[in-house]
Structure 1
């Protein structure tokens, strides 16, 4: 009786027969398997010199819990390495042979969690110098005579995909209302040392009658002249007497 399919001897027989026949399909017919299986073990033998299975995952090996190995794992994680790369590092530096899935499970349970990287401005040396120059330029500025304005769009319904939550296997996933059209409010306002203005609704607001869908130069100038600047002027009149008649700055 010949070797049982999938055993080590059977795989070696596939490789041996291919060396003599030189055709994947013919060898597959002889052994009652597919050409892809023959090709797989021939390629494995050519790459590793054997036809052994790759290391499989199982319960976390005790060796991963030792302090030296944990330090290697932490260093690899801080370097942003994948589990496959960590397996190679453990084999090379510690002589520890474990599977990729074993490493993943151990790291997830004991060392780290998967998060999306936070976006952070790339502060080059030039950018830092510009920011320092800006701060020095304005550090002695009297903010008692400055009005700072800004705008924001307020969505009056939930936006985005929402947060993840735990759900029992036997329960149905939770649902939230789906909105085809969401009401939004586009508003401008300003703040000073002496108070803040009202919110001034403008173009871009749902149901707001305007000559354009968004804030154009013409719409913005009209908003400044009729609402924002008069409101800021009223706040600046609240300054104490030495400052009340001095010029003030409207910062956009």
Structure 2
């Protein structure tokens, strides 16, 4: 069984204005065996609020709302679980080959969060793909899954955090990865699994969360996008060469 057969729905978050990201995202998904499929594998139009509403920035708030909206939609439709991708994800070539092993582990485990892509250092990293229990904070939300077992608790926490003041001891406006980590710390029974090795990372791309001064200058933005596109091309070539060398 493949990941797309195991999870009830796969959402890829993309801001409609970021057609550059959407194009590369679709290529990544196709290569990973996750082509768009109505009612199964879909693009979720990212939310872009008018104000930051206490969050570190408008983009941060929009990202928070987008992930929350997906969870609420999944709950409303009675989905058992959902896999979420962000549009700057780069999926490791190994994913296609090892996903069956990972699905077998998921079928035998009681899990709540699964991070297929992450940057956390794991104590035991072997050449054999596996899912390892993890209790620390997790940065990034570019390639992860959530089980319906925690939909109610997680949604309630996120909705409360959205409306609390920043820095509130029970959790206030923050990046979505920080909110998930805060939730997990407050709910130690929540089971989190991390893929070992990590099977996804964030691709070099202009950020909509915390754009730098280059990305706020139109002419420089165009130049920076060309540089990033070149970097993505180089990264893809390196990945292809690496894959061929192991065949």
TM-score > 0.5 by shorter chain? no
Specify which structure has the bigger relative contact order, considering alpha-carbon pairs within 8 angstroms and separated by 6 or more residues: 2
Larger Rg: 1
Tell me the TM-score normalized by structure 1.
Answer: 0.21
By percentage of residues, which structure has more strand? Answer: 2
Tell me the TM-score normalized by structure 2.
Answer: 0.21
